[in-house]
Amino acid sequence: MAVDSYIKHMFGPGADNFVQSKVLLVGAGGIGCELLKNLIMMNIGEIHVLDLDTIDLSNLNRQFLFRHKDIKESKSKTAIKAVEFFNYTSKLVSYHGSVLDKTMFPLSFFQQFSVIYNALDNLEARFYVNRICLYLSIPLYESGTTGLKGQVQPIYPYISECFHCVPKETPKTFPVCTIRSTPSKPVHCITWAKDFLFSQLFGEGSPEDVPTPDASEFTSKGEAEASANEINELSDLRKLVDFSKAGDHDFAVEVFNKIFITDIERLLKIEDLWRSREKPSVSKLGDYEQYLASSEDATKNRIYEPDASEQSNVESIIKTYVVSCLRLADRLRSGEKLEFDKDDVDTLRFVMATSNIRSLIFHIPIKSEFDVKQIAGNIIPAVATMNAIMAGFSALSSVNYYLEKTNEERAAKSKMLFDSSATDKVVNSSKLAKPNPSCSACSIVKGTVELNLKELKLSDLRDSLIEKYKYDDEVEIMTLDARLLYDFDLEENLEKPLSDFLEDGTILLISDSDERLDMIELYIIDNFASSGIDLPNLTIPPKRVIEDDGEEGNLDEDELIEDGLLVEDRKDEKSNDGNQNVSSVIILEDDNIGEEPAAKRQKIN
């Protein structure tokens, strides 16, 4: 049976809503490939697929639309080609680019979609799409897996929790002193090699920009001083990289001597550090000077491929270090911008070799290239079945979108789905929670405004804001990333054109210096054809006082009711502006998925 007849058979007249919808799928990786197949089987009218990446060998085990011949091809384009033989009627469109790219995907691009499905692997892009969906009141179906954990969250903007409502766990961090002076585990050395050494020697930006850790982050004054010296000297080495010549093998030797000999000797002098710890020692590096010298030949053509049995051998580790160091210096000199990428063999091997040399010095077990890749890339192996299950739930939970009429009804029928840790239960579900009233994404009144940024001055915008929103006296204008453009103390920008500070897609936070009205958020659309300033109709609520009630976890029944009232209030306040009203949203959990959503709630008086 063709897909369309099958859907008609299952849903009767409701099937028309599937075929009349135009949806966006962000991410064509593990979950995205599965979800594309599901959406096609649901006979969705138009499916647009967006992904920034190309296919990698390591994707093939689970991203079932891709084959070996597709390596290096665009994921979104290949995914669409791969489903050509399905018996479907959906119109498919692909985009190769980052969803964060405002030139390629301005706000107006997202407006054409009735639903957005996220199948992403990082928080930045997830938060971004969540905010776009809030601006446009588009339901969002968020999905994510981490190993054997997974979650699907339908987000109906302003009706249910948004992706930002619940604080997300951030990756585990280690104390600076452990990383810089007293590592005791392989992960400490790998973090040092990746986040400190690699980024200072080869990373973007001037070495002087690298912040020096605060002295309070170290256990002794001597340690803080040693660390500051290390950083200054590394800056000098970075300059050497920039000015080194292609045949310059000495550079790698110089870096080695500084980081593994001089810096360690400096640490050894801080006796306090070694009272209860084994002192670092270069004795396990054997005849390292000889190894460095003999690596010169291998480095001429910049190729060294140790086989697996050699990987733990010190001579091989040092050769790997030298070759990767020189290859990275070559790339930097040719103008390439370098950042650590687990799939970039030069950056991976540099981190593997330097972390292992450091491990040998600190009496820590060394790790294979495979292990370093997992640890440095923060990889939790993806499980194909889990991706398939969550993609299935994402598609299934969105069926409510197509069958119900309003977002309120959709939200009431939708559930959040997540894996269960109970042995007798594989999947758990919970009703969608109300938005967190102190969420900095969905609790702030939002609007969009088209401005001719070249023509208008900051003073024009300030005056219009005061007039339109009836601020008593002054306003404060800040960008979402906390750049202050104007307040009563900062007048120097007033006569400058807006294009000096803003671009298409900049989000401004406007607050009231008198603290009478609450903050608002304005999305700037640069339009050279627009004249004047036509600010959106927004009703700004009185300034809120936020009190932390110190409670963790979901709201109890009473709080939900209280929240419900607050949400209703907010809805009314927003109702002046046509597209600022409540819409439906789907919330996804991200890489760090917990058993249940655990928001830290704050009450608003």
Ligand X SMILES: Nc1ncnc2c1ncn2[C@@H]1O[C@H](COP(=O)(O)OP(=O)(O)OP(=O)(O)O)[C@@H](O)[C@H]1O
Residues taking part in catalysis = 177
Strands (E), 354-483: 415-419, 427-431, 445-451, 475-479
Q: Site mask, ligand X, residues 550-579, x = CB under 6 A? A: ------------------------------
Cβ contacts of 158 within 8 Å, gap of 6 or more: 134, 137, 435, 442, 567, 570, 571, 574, 581, 582, 583, 585
> For residue 135, what are its two tokens?
């601006």
Torsions phi, psi of 301, nearest 5?
A: -100, 10
Select the binding partner of residue 364 from ligand X, Zn ion, none (C-beta < 5 to 8 A, by kind): none
Nearest C-alpha neighbor of 75 from the set 88, 89, 91, 59: 59
442 annotated ligand binder = yes
3-class secondary structure for 298-363? Answer: HHHCCCCCCCHHHCCCHHHHHHHHHHHHHHHHHHHHCCCCCCCCCCCHHHHHHHHHHHHHHHHHCC
79 binds Zn ion (CB under 5 A): no
- The partner in contact with residue 197, picked from Zn ion, ligand X, none with C-beta cut-offs of 5 to 8 angstroms by kind, is none
126 is annotated as contributing to ligand binding: yes
Indicate the residue among 65 and 538 with the shorter CB distance to ligand X. 65
Q: For ligand X, which residue of 7, 18, 23, 30 counts as binding (CB under 6 A)? A: 30
Q: Is 30 a known ligand-binding residue?
A: yes
442 contacts which partner out of Zn ion, ligand X, none, CB within 5 to 8 A by kind? Answer: Zn ion
Positions 528 through 547 that interact with Zn ion (CB under 5 A): none
Q: What is the DSSP string of 104-150?
A: TS-HHHHHT-SEEEE--S-HHHHHHHHHHHHHHT--EEEEEEETTEE
Binding mask 168-207 for ligand X (x = CB under 6 A): ----------------------------------------
Q: Give the total of residues touching ligand X (CB under 6 A).
A: 21
- Stretch touching ligand X by CB under 6 A, among 98-106, 294-302, 349-357, 437-445: 98-106
Nearest residue relative to ligand X (C-beta) = 29
CA distance 289 to 258: 13
What DSSP string describes 536-571? Answer: ---PPPBPP-EEEEEEESS--HHHHHHHHHHHHHHH
139 binds, among ligand X, Zn ion, none (CB under 5 to 8 A by kind): none
Spatial CB neighbours of 92, under 8 Å, sequence gap ≥ 6 = 40, 46, 47, 48, 49, 80, 83
Q: Annotation-wise, does 335 bind a ligand?
A: no
Is 162 annotated in some ligand binding site?
yes
Which residues between 105 and 144 bind ligand X (CB under 6 A)?
120-122, 125
Instruction: Kindly compute the dihedral angle of the four CA atoms of residues 228, 231, 233, 236, in this order, to the nearest 10 degrees.
Output: -140
Could you say which of Zn ion, ligand X, none residue 131 binds, taking C-beta under 5 to 8 angstroms by partner kind?
none
Between 116 and 329, name the residue whose CB sits nearer to ligand X. 116
Judged by beta carbon distances under 5 to 8 A according to partner kind, the member of Zn ion, ligand X, none in contact with residue 342 is none
Alpha helices in 173-249 (DSSP H): 176-180, 186-191, 199-202, 221-243
Smallest distance, Zn ion to C-beta of residue 156, A: 11
Member of 140, 376, 442, 524 binding Zn ion (CB under 5 A): 442
User: CA 583 to CA 588: how far, in whole Å?
Assistant: 16
554 known member of a binding site: no
Strands 475-479 and 484-486: antiparallel
Q: Which is nearer to Zn ion, 442 or 582 (CB)?
A: 442
- What are the angstrom distances between the C-alpha of 163 and each of 24, 124, 156, 434? 17, 11, 10, 12
Contact flag: residue 52 with ligand X (CB under 6 A)? yes
* Residues 54 and 74 sit within 8 Å (Cβ to Cβ): yes
Residues 346-405 that bind ligand X (CB under 6 A): 382
Q: Is 604 exposed, middle or buried (0-12, 13-18, 19+ CB in 10 A)?
A: middle
For residue 9, the minimal CB distance to ligand X (Å) is: 33
482 dihedral zone (left: phi>0; alpha: psi -120 to 50; beta): left
Q: Does 152 bind ligand X (CB under 6 A)?
A: no
100 versus 484: smaller Cβ distance to ligand X: 100
C-beta of residue 130 within 8 angstroms of C-beta of residue 116:
no
One of 23, 25, 27, 166 touching ligand X (CB under 6 A): 27
CB of 201 to Zn ion, least distance (A): 40
Query: How many Cα atoms occupy the beta-carbon half-sphere of 538 within 13 Å?
Result: 28
Q: Which residue in 52, 92, 162, 444 binds Zn ion (CB under 5 A)?
A: 162
Least separation, in Å, of the C-beta of 570 and Zn ion? Answer: 11
Q: Does 223 bind ligand X (CB under 6 A)?
A: no
Neighbours of 332 (CB within 10 A): 19
Q: Is 302 annotated as a binding residue?
A: no
Residue 439 interacts with which of Zn ion, ligand X, none, CB < 5 to 8 Å by class: Zn ion
The listed partner (ligand X, Zn ion, none) that binds 58, CB under 5 to 8 Å by sort, is: ligand X
Q: Which stretch binds ligand X (CB under 6 A): 23-31, 310-318, 359-367, 577-585?
A: 23-31
Site residues (vs ligand X, CB under 6 A): 26-30, 32, 50-53, 58-59, 75, 98-100, 120-122, 125, 382
Site residues (vs Zn ion, CB under 5 A): 162, 164-165, 435, 439, 441-442
Please report, in range form, the residues annotated as the binding site for ATP: 27-32, 51, 59-62, 75, 121-126
Please report, in range form, the residues annotated as the binding site for Zn(2+): 162, 165, 439, 442
